[in-house]
Amino acid sequence: MNVPRHWREQIRRYRLVGSKCTDCGRLSFPNRAVCPKCNSRNNENYQYVGRGKIISFTNINSPPKEHKYNLPFAVALIQLMEGPVITAQITDARAEELEIGMEVEMVTRKIMEYNDDGIICYGYKFRPIVEYAHP
Amino acid sequence: MGDNVAVIGVGLSKVGEHWEKSLRSLAIESIWMAFEDSGIDKVDALYVGNMSSGSFVEQEHLGALIADFAGLGPIPAVKIEAACGSGGAAFIEGYMGIKSGMYDYVLVTGVEKMTDVLPSKTTSILANASDRDYEAFHGVSFVALNALVMKRYMHEFNVKREELSIFPVISHKNAPFSKHAMYRKEISLEAVINSPIIADPLTLMDCAPICDGAASVILCSEKKAREFTDIPILVSGVGIATDTLGVHDRKHITTLSAAVEASKKAYKMAEVTPKDIDIAEIHDAFSIMSALSLEDMGFAKKGQGTKMALEGQHYIGGELPINLYGGLKARGHPVGATGVYQIGELVYSLRGDGRVDAEVGLAENIGGSGATVSVCVLERGD
């Protein structure tokens, strides 16, 4: 990963900003220049709340080389509560605790280091929603 | 439109881990075999199917490299890339070269040299076929993407992992006959089920192996082909289509809509329906892809892609024999070469190899996790 390539993704990786079609309202993540539903080129930034549910998941035992220091880790397809589906790692949970339908929330975590440029890349991961006891 | 297109030559290098052979030597070997098989020694153009020579062996510009070293002369020669679907995509470009009347003879060579890098690097290179910024960045390997699709499939259609394990068994069943296959042996259902988990629910034996290989076919018009043979193998229909690059953007995670589109086009052009297909080469890079492919090309209802397999209908002698030379699983999956291997194998079967009497065959080649799919229908021209 080189510096500008990661730098220009900040708005998406740190704040979960995608796009909304201003003609038909269709939401996308990441942002899209052309709406997949109505072909409009009119869109605006749209920030997701960062909550959703797992629609599929797997545990990775044989990762690409940039991720070999992170083992073991789980990745999932997460349907955000606003609609779009996103691919991300699951954190703060043991693999055997995961299940389809589980509600998760976004957190910012380290995604990789020891890559070609040596920069540490942060980004979104998701964790099971923790219910706090309110006073 | 021009005359029908025929395949008059096939050359398939032995698939495997070839420490002693370079990308160019593998390609040349298959080209010479195809020349010998066809009886010609000159072509007007070369299309090279290759996924990632730049990353695997730091070599691009394969068209010129192979034309030069295979002694093809100053012909037009380009590389066609669509990830693991590069071979099928290159074949369709070659088809158009003949069909348009532009060329008399076209050579299509699929080649991939994967074993010059370590496996974790290979995993990283293969992940380039997915969305690098929004899938691969998060550590999702290619196997993992297929695992995500498979787990969802099992959930939606109430299918067990062990049911999908039948597909590697079917492909391996035909492998002992296949001289160019990497693994020329049968395997048991138990072996697939009990092999180590790579990314759950996918086991090691659900996945096609990393390997080197090259395959070449020579195309010309039907009219010219009849000068060489009484029974030419004709390309009666081709279709290629794309879908969203990322799995997460699919309308249905468990549908290969590019396979739906590509097969419809190919069937229409060939004037056939799935019922007319006697044999098929299916892109079984992962067991789940076999089930989805069979469903989305119209051979099974959604969610029932394992049914015929479990009934034994995909073995030789069954209703639809598949992967007669071992499929990706046993022949091996040298990614960019695979689609050309499939065409060559279909030609062998249709010419008659003593095992099946087939008139119409289909080859399906998938790029990435389904973002490109090509489907070709070939017929015996007697």
CB contact under 8 A, B140 and A77: no
Nearest CB neighbour to B253, from listed A59, A77, A86: A77
Strand partners, B46: B77, B107
Residue at a domain's end among B164, B199, B225:
B225
CB contact under 8 A, A87 and B120: no
Contacts of B200 in chain A (CB under 8 A): 58-59
To the nearest whole angstrom, how far is the Cα of B210 from the nearest Cα of chain A? 14
Whether residues B145 and B112 share a domain: the answer is no
Residue of A nearest to B146 (CA): A58
To the nearest whole angstrom, how far is the Cα of A93 from the nearest Cα of chain B? 16
Q: Considering the domain boundaries, does residue B193 fall inside one?
A: yes
Which one-letter amino acid corresponds to residue B140? V
Residue of A nearest to B198 (CA): A61
- In angstroms and rounded to an integer, the radius of gyration of the C-alpha atoms of chain B is 19
The CATH number that applies at residue B313 is: 3.40.47.10
- Tell whether the model's pLDDT for residue A132 goes beyond 70: no
CB contact under 8 A, B133 and A30: yes
Whether residues B301 and B185 share a domain: the answer is yes
Rounded to whole angstroms, the Cα distance separating B131 from B316 reads 38
Whether residues B31 and B165 share a domain: the answer is no
Whether residues B217 and B251 share a domain: the answer is no
Question: What's the pLDDT score for residue A117?
Answer: 78
CB contact under 8 A, B199 and A60: yes
Q: Is the pTM of this model over 0.80?
A: yes
User: pLDDT grade, residue A71 (50/70/90)?
Assistant: confident
Question: What's the pLDDT score for residue A131?
Answer: 72
Q: Read off the pLDDT of residues A90-108 as tens digits, 9 standing for 90 and up.
A: 999 988 899 999 999 999 9
> Please, which residues have CB within 8 angstroms of residue B252's CB and are 6 or more apart in sequence?
none
CB contact under 8 A, B144 and A55: no
Rounded to whole angstroms, the Cα distance separating A37 from A42 reads 12
Whether residues B154 and B247 share a domain: the answer is yes
Q: How many residues does chain B have?
A: 382
Whether residues B111 and B158 share a domain: the answer is no
Q: Considering the domain boundaries, does residue B151 fall inside one?
A: yes
Residues of the domain holding B48: 5-118+211-225
Residue of B nearest to A89 (CA): B138
Question: What's the pLDDT score for residue A72?
Answer: 86
Contacts of B124 in chain A (CB under 8 A): 64-66
Residue of B nearest to A63 (CA): B141
Contacts of B253 in chain A (CB under 8 A): 55-56, 77, 85
Which residues of B are identified as catalytic? 84, 333
Q: Read off the pLDDT of residues B54-81 as tens digits, 9 standing for 90 and up.
A: 999 999 999 999 999 999 999 999 999 9
Contacts of A55 in chain B (CB under 8 A): 152, 253
Nearest CB neighbour to A63, from listed B141, B244, B248: B141
Whether residues B203 and B220 share a domain: the answer is no
Rounded to whole angstroms, the Cα distance separating B314 from B302 reads 17
Q: Considering the domain boundaries, does residue B31 fall inside one?
A: yes
- Tell whether the model's pLDDT for residue A135 goes beyond 70: no
Nearest CB neighbour to A59, from listed B127, B134, B200: B200
Distance (Å) of CA B201 to CA A20, A119, B182, B284 = 35, 33, 25, 16
Q: Which residues of chain B have pLDDT under 70?
A: 1-2
Contacts of A119 in chain B (CB under 8 A): none
Whether residues B290 and B318 share a domain: the answer is yes
CB contact under 8 A, A62 and B143: yes
- The answer to whether the CB of B178 falls within 8 A of the CB of B299 is no
Contacts of B136 in chain A (CB under 8 A): 64
CB contact under 8 A, B141 and A64: yes
Q: Considering the domain boundaries, does residue B27 fall inside one?
A: yes
Q: With helix as H, strand as E and coil as C, how does chain B read? A: CCCCEEEEEEEECCCECCCCCCHHHHHHHHHHHHHHHHCCCCCCEEEEECCCHHHHCCCCCHHHHHHHHCCCCCCCEEEECECECHHHHHHHHHHHHHHCCCCCCEEEEEEECCCCCCHHHHHHHHHHHCCCCCCHHHCCCHHHHHHHHHHHHHHHHCCCHHHHCHHHHHHHHCHHHCCCCCCCCCCCHHHHHHCCEEECCEEHHHECCCCEEEEEEEEEEHHHHCCCCCCCEEEEEEEEEECCCCHHHCCCCCCCHHHHHHHHHHHHHHCCCHHHCCEEECCCCEHHHHHHHHHHCCCCCCCCCCHHHHCCCCCCCCCCCECCCCHHHHHCCCHHHHHHHHHHHHHHHHHCCCCCCCCEEEEEEEECCCCEEEEEEEEECC
- The answer to whether the CB of A88 falls within 8 A of the CB of A100 is no
Q: Considering the domain boundaries, does residue B44 fall inside one?
A: yes
To the nearest whole angstrom, how far is the Cα of B327 from the nearest Cα of chain A? 23
**Closest residue by Cα to residue B269 from B160, B378, B170:** B378
Structure tokens at B17: 């881990």
- The answer to whether the CB of B31 falls within 8 A of the CB of B60 is no
To the nearest whole angstrom, how far is the Cα of B137 from the nearest Cα of chain A? 8
Whether residues B30 and B112 share a domain: the answer is yes
CB contact under 8 A, A56 and B253: yes
Q: Considering the domain boundaries, does residue B123 fall inside one?
A: no
Q: Read off the pLDDT of residues A38-64 as tens digits, 9 standing for 90 and up.
A: 999 999 999 999 999 999 999 998 888
Whether residues B182 and B221 share a domain: the answer is no
Q: Considering the domain boundaries, does residue B125 fall inside one?
A: no
Whether residues B23 and B60 share a domain: the answer is yes
Whether residues B264 and B363 share a domain: the answer is yes
- Tell whether the model's pLDDT for residue A134 goes beyond 70: no
Q: Considering the domain boundaries, does residue B130 fall inside one?
A: no
CB contact under 8 A, B155 and A56: yes
- Tell whether the model's pLDDT for residue A26 goes beyond 80: yes
Q: How many domains does chain B have?
A: 2
Residue at a domain's end among B176, B200, B225:
B225
